[in-house]
């Protein structure tokens, strides 16, 4: 693919999203949220890809995946009024339907199209399949890291600003009580990513987001997490208990270990 293709995709994306704009401020806010998220994920993935010394074609492909990874979000919010896949439908699958129905990727080679489709399909699964093709695996891991970096950016800003503007869509309508579920604490202490189906409170969601650290793939991503103080910012939004202190120390140790580990990943 060439630079003209990425420019074409960006312009198509802008127009596509504009067709969802509405006068209703509650809906408009969420359409804009995902539009801005997408554009920042494009920036994140390029930064990460460059840190990993990817070639120009791989960078363009990564940017295309970032641009389209959440394309299903707009239809999802319009139809169901939520970003919660559990009560609507899988937004990655929905996105693939949009991309295939519009045949927007037809200017790419068949191989490139497969990489884009598969990386989008795998961007929100619990684990990228072990038997995935190496290039598909690389691109799936890139979008997963870049996507998480931006969700962390969005939620850490939200946790500090929340007292001013609430957005129930960002809280998945979970109750904001002091409780949290111990399974999330145990998952973190065992370096496991938790299951979103266990979410019961808003605090659980913060714990789930902390546990994404165990799903990060590349050394530069770990460095960005440390530079941006992601762990500290989410911990601040949780109650000050012994459990939380324990996971805080555990996560910080894990992060330091992953950063100092000799790595050929950049
Ligand atoms: Fe995303």
Q: What is the domain class of 3-146 according to CATH?
A: mainly alpha
From residue 196, alpha-carbon distances to 30, 34, 126 in Å are 21, 20, 10
Rounded to the nearest whole angstrom, what is the distance from the C-alpha of residue 96 to the centroid of ligand 1?
Answer: 14
**pLDDT of 73 strictly over 70:** yes
Residue 69 CB partners (closer than 8 Å, separation 6+): 38, 41, 92, 95, 119, 120, 123, 143, 147
Alpha carbon distance 91, 69 (integer Å): 9
Rounded to the nearest whole angstrom, what is the distance from the C-alpha of residue 1 to the centroid of ligand 1?
Answer: 23
Alpha carbon distance 135, 133 (integer Å): 6
Cβ–Cβ under 8 Å, residues 136 and 118: yes
Rounded to the nearest whole angstrom, what is the distance from the C-alpha of residue 156 to the centroid of ligand 1?
Answer: 15
Rounded to the nearest whole angstrom, what is the distance from the C-alpha of residue 3 to the centroid of ligand 1?
Answer: 23
Rounded to the nearest whole angstrom, what is the distance from the C-alpha of residue 38 to the centroid of ligand 1?
Answer: 6
Helix (H) or strand (E) holding 100: helix 91-102
Rounded to the nearest whole angstrom, what is the distance from the C-alpha of residue 41 to the centroid of ligand 1?
Answer: 7
pLDDT band at 126 (very low <50, low <70, confident <90, very high): confident
User: 67-71, 250-254, 262-266: which range is least confident on average?
Assistant: 262-266
pLDDT band at 264 (very low <50, low <70, confident <90, very high): very low
Rounded to the nearest whole angstrom, what is the distance from the C-alpha of residue 70 to the centroid of ligand 1?
Answer: 5
Note the pTM of the prediction, 2 decimals: 0.92
Rounded to the nearest whole angstrom, what is the distance from the C-alpha of residue 149 to the centroid of ligand 1?
Answer: 9
Rounded to the nearest whole angstrom, what is the distance from the C-alpha of residue 123 to the centroid of ligand 1?
Answer: 8
Q: pLDDT of 92-108, one tens digit each?
A: 999 999 999 999 999 99
Q: pLDDT of 40-50, one tens digit each?
A: 999 999 999 99
Return the domain boundaries, the chain. 3-146, 174-260
């Amino acid at each position: 693919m060439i630079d003209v293709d990425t420019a074409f995709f960006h312009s198509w994306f802008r127009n596509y999203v504009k067709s969802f704009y509405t006068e209703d401020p509650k809906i408009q806010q969420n359409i804009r949220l995902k539009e801005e998220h997408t554009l920042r994920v494009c920036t994140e993935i390029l930064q990460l890809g460059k840190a990993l010394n990817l070639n120009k074609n791989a960078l363009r492909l990564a940017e295309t995946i970032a641009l389209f990874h959440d394309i299903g979000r707009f239809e999802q919010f319009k139809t169901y009024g939520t970003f919660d896949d559990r009560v609507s439908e899988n937004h990655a699958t929905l996105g693939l339907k949009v991309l295939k129905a519009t045949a927007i990727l037809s200017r790419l080679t068949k191989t490139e199209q497969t990489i884009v489709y598969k990386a989008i399909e795998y961007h929100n699964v619990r684990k990228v399949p072990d038997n995935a093709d190496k290039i598909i695996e690389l691109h799936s891991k890139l979008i997963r890291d870049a996507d998480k970096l931006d969700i962390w950016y969005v939620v850490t800003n939200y946790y500090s600003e929340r007292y001013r503007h609430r957005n129930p869509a960002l809280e998945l309508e979970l109750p904001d009580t002091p409780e949290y579920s111990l399974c999330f604490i145990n998952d973190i202490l065992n370096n496991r990513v938790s299951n979103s189906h266990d979410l019961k409170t808003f605090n659980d969601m913060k714990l789930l987001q902390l546990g994404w650290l165990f799903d990060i793939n590349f050394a530069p991503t770990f460095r960005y997490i440390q530079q941006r103080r992601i762990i500290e910012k989410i911990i601040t939004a949780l109650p000050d208990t012994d459990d939380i202190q324990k996971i805080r120390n555990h996560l910080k140790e894990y992060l330091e270990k992953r950063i100092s580990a000799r790595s050929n990943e950049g």
